[in-house]
Amino acid sequence: MSTTSPLQQRSADPSSPSRSNHPSFTTALFLTALIAGTLDAIGATTSFLLRGNSDPAIIWRYVASGALGPAALKGGTEMVIYGLLFHYFIAFCCTLVFFLSYPRIPALARYKYITAIGYALLVWVITNLVIIPLSHLGMPHFHLQQVLIGMFILILAIGLPISLLAHHWLRR
């Protein structure tokens, strides 16, 4: 005769859907930020190469120059690494804000696809109209085609992964 209740047996089964099968908030946060940051880096690099450019390291030196100044544009591998670190830090911050907001704003879960688009556009606005102008880079020059491509990349690479993974990992 078993001394464990059916509820205890069910929760010990790794195939049963339980809270213990979900990663911790911190793990889900870091995994989501890593996925979103990587997808965004791939999107930015692909867009850059499709415009006829040949050295994607320029992108990451540019990102580094926002914090470290114009000298970063002439730097080597270390500036590329700094640029990637800043990029992933920004992706982490975007993910953190969403993850902290998710349980407090029920509409984020209810309208996850609309939320993904809206959040990506908000990230674009904050990045391009607040962060970049306040950095060493100053106000960027906008070209409609590049703005639309950038927004589309953010929807696919930041908005959708963050919204869908938050919904998957944080719902109750």
Q: What is the pLDDT along the chain (172 residues), one digit of tens a residue?
A: 445 444 344 344 444 444 556 789 999 999 999 999 999 999 999 999 999 999 999 999 999 999 999 999 999 999 999 999 999 999 999 999 999 999 999 999 999 999 999 999 999 999 999 999 999 998 889 999 999 999 999 999 999 999 999 999 998 6
Specify the pLDDT at position 11: 40
Query: What's the CA gap between 26 and 169, in Å, rounded?
Result: 11
Residues sharing a CB contact under 8 Å with residue 67, sequence separation 6 or more, in sequence order:
82, 86, 135, 136
Model pTM? 0.84
The predicted pLDDT at position 8 comes to 42
pLDDT at 172: 60
pLDDT for 10 equals 38
Burial of 157 from C-beta contacts in 10 A (0-12 / 13-18 / 19+): buried
Among residues 50, 43, 60, the alpha carbon closest in space to that of 157 is found at 43
